Amino acid sequence: MDTKPTRMEDLAPKDKLTGTVVKTMLAGVVVDIGVEVPGIVHISRIQSEPVNRAEDVVEIGQSVDVWVRQVFPDRKRIELTMIKPLDIEWREITKDLVTKGTVTRLEKYGAFVDIGAERPGLVHISELAHGFIDSPGDVVKEGDEVEVQVLSVNRRRKQIKLSMKALTAPPEKASKVVEKIEEESNNEPVPTAMEAALRQAMERSQNGESKTKKKSKKGSSLNDELENIFARTLNKN
């Protein structure tokens, strides 16, 4: 938050605050964050690693960074965490969501991008850019900040499929070629039913004539040969 809150009503989940440890308990830590009631950090929320006793990690009077988890104004209760929350929860990841992330790893089949979720999402090599790509390294490198769009999310398997290509227009040249092909296809005259029938009849007629010519030629050749044989026979006699 840009300004330090003074009322519980000013607090919202994931707000980052700086507070002072005022008490340690078996259940956790009490932190003064400057509002009418202090916040409580459960022992499981002090750090990612297991904690047996709160005083093993923090001490009274220590300044700590905390994030708001939940606020219950009616109960005058504020739940805090010292573990940085995810920037984006699984329930917030939906198809077509556009967000920014950082490339964390490159593989032959694509690039992994950290979008602030529990796990990074994958941009398949075919979704990095338009056109053929030989290697993901031709488009991005580790540490790059990129804008991506969510193609799909599988919460059960904790898989996120992303795309960079979906947020960029296809190359102008390729687009024009496609438009030209579509235009030529649309302008090509479509034959009427009568024209199509006439064309088929002409083709059948031409095929018939061709066969007749071949047959006639073969018969003519045979007649010529017979006549030659008769002529030679008569001459001998």
- DSSP 8-state symbol, 170: P
Which of the pair, 237 or 172, is modelled with greater confidence?
Answer: 172
Question: Which residue has tokens 């009427």?
Answer: 192
- Given its phi and psi angles, is residue 110 left (phi above 0), alpha (psi -120 to 50 degrees) or beta? left
Mean pLDDT of the chain: 84
Report the alpha-carbon distance of residue 39 to residue 31 in Å, rounded. 5
Read off the pLDDT of residues 8-40 as tens digits, 9 standing for 90 and up. Answer: 989 999 999 999 999 999 999 999 999 999 999
State percent of the chain over pLDDT 70: 71
Which of the pair, 185 or 155, is modelled with greater confidence?
Answer: 155
Report the alpha-carbon distance of residue 31 to residue 64 in Å, rounded. 8
pLDDT at position 75: 92
Considering only CA atoms, which of 138, 148, 145, 135 is closest in space to residue 103? 145
Report the alpha-carbon distance of residue 211 to residue 213 in Å, rounded. 5
Residue 170 binned pLDDT confidence (cut-offs 50, 70, 90):
confident
CB-based contact 118:88 (threshold 8 Å): no
* pLDDT over 90 at 148, yes or no: yes
87-91: long-range pairs with CB below 8 Å, 24+: 87/115, 87/116, 87/117, 88/115, 88/116, 88/117, 89/117, 90/117, 90/118, 90/153, 90/155, 90/158
Residue 71 binned pLDDT confidence (cut-offs 50, 70, 90):
very high
* Tokens coding 208: 């018939």
Read off the pLDDT of residues 172-231 as tens digits, 9 standing for 90 and up. Answer: 765 565 566 667 666 655 556 656 665 666 666 666 555 555 555 555 555 555 555 555
Chain length of the chain: 237
